């Protein structure tokens, strides 16, 4: 029951635009209780970037390379010079070899530059500026009415799915456990 009520309140808050106000107008937020000295949102974002760059990208590099190879080959195939080279005996394999090497070198170079950018102070400053500008433009676009409506609808539906699929697990966890956790949160807030 508690889980359903919490999710219903979250859905109502989204419908009433409170989430949008909270995200885009931080000056209207109530004082925020910090559990530790960590900005969790920033820490999560940093961790996601690091996992993406150091763990995910190396594993999907063959896919990136294949996409780059296809893009380069498509571009070259539109070039009359490239088409003529393919018709010259002995050189007909050269364009494909060139495309493969170019795709491999570009994808490896892009990855290496990305890794360097995370440790280079100038690149870090440029990256910070890019992130700031990206965030500002994204915020401006997200505030457009059609985007707000779509995200609100998606979030409300997602919460409905959580309610349907996972609240049973909350109920099975026992009311005593939930009350104990609520009591601990109450103690933290009223220190």
What are the tens digits of pLDDT across the range 36-65?
777 676 777 778 888 888 888 889 988 988
pLDDT at 171: 63
Q: Encoding tokens for residue 39?
A: 């900005």
pLDDT score, position 96: 75
> What is the Cα–Cα distance from 51 to 63, expressed in whole angstroms?
18
Q: Is the pLDDT of residue 173 over 70?
A: no
pLDDT at position 87 over 70: yes
* Strand spans (E) along 15-65: none
**Domain residue spans in the chain?**
1-33+144-191, 39-141
Average pLDDT over residues 74-92: 75
The reported pLDDT for the residue numbered 129 is 84
Nearest Cα residue to 156 out of 16, 22, 2: 16
pLDDT tens, 16-31?
Answer: 888 777 777 766 666 6
**Encoded tokens for 105:** 């070198």
Contact 62, 111 (CB under 8 A): no
Q: Name the percent of the chain lying above pLDDT 70.
A: 83
Q: Record the tokens describing residue 150, joined without a space.
A: 């779509």
At 101-156, the pLDDT tens digits run 888 888 888 888 878 877 888 877 887 787 778 777 877 887 888 888 888 888 88
Largest Cα separation within the chain, whole Å, is 83
Cβ(107)–Cβ(64) under 8 Å? Answer: yes
How many other CB atoms are there within 10 angstroms of residue 14's CB atom? 20
Question: Looking at residues 76-92, what average pLDDT do you find?
Answer: 74
Residue 172's pLDDT is what?
65
Confidence of residue 175 (pLDDT cuts 50, 70, 90): low
**Distance of alpha carbon 139 from the chain centroid:** 14
Question: pLDDT value at position 151?
Answer: 84
Report which of 53, 153, 151 is spatially closest to residue 110, judged by C-alpha positions: 53
Residue 104, CA distances (Å) to 91, 96, 98, 149 in order = 20, 12, 10, 42
Q: Over the chain, what is the mean pLDDT? A: 79
Cα–Cα distance measured from residue 24 to residue 152, given in angstroms and rounded to the nearest whole number: 14
pLDDT interval class at 169 (50, 70, 90): low
CA 5 distance to own-chain centroid: 29
Write down the pLDDT at residue 2.
67
| Mean pLDDT value of segment 82-95 | 71
């Amino acid at each position: 029951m508690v889980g359903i009520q919490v999710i219903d309140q979250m859905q109502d808050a989204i419908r009433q635009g409170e989430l949008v106000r909270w995200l885009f107008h931080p000056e209207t937020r109530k004082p925020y209780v910090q559990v530790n000295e960590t900005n969790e949102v920033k820490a999560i974002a940093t961790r996601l970037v690091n996992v993406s760059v150091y763990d995910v990208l190396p594993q999907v590099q063959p896919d990136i390379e294949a996409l780059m190879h296809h893009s380069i080959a498509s571009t070259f195939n539109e070039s009359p010079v490239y088409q003529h080279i393919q018709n010259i005996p002995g050189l007909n394999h050269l364009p494909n070899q060139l495309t493969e090497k170019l795709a491999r070198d570009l994808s490896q170079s892009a990855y290496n530059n990305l890794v360097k950018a995370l440790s280079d102070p100038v690149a870090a400053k440029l990256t910070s500026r890019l992130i700031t500008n990206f965030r500002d433009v994204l915020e401006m676009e997200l505030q457009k009415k059609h985007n707000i409506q779509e995200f609100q609808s998606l979030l409300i539906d997602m919460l409905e799915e959580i309610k349907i699929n996972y609240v049973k697990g909350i109920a099975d966890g026992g009311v005593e456990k939930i009350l104990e956790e609520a009591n601990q949160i109450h103690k933290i807030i009223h220190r």
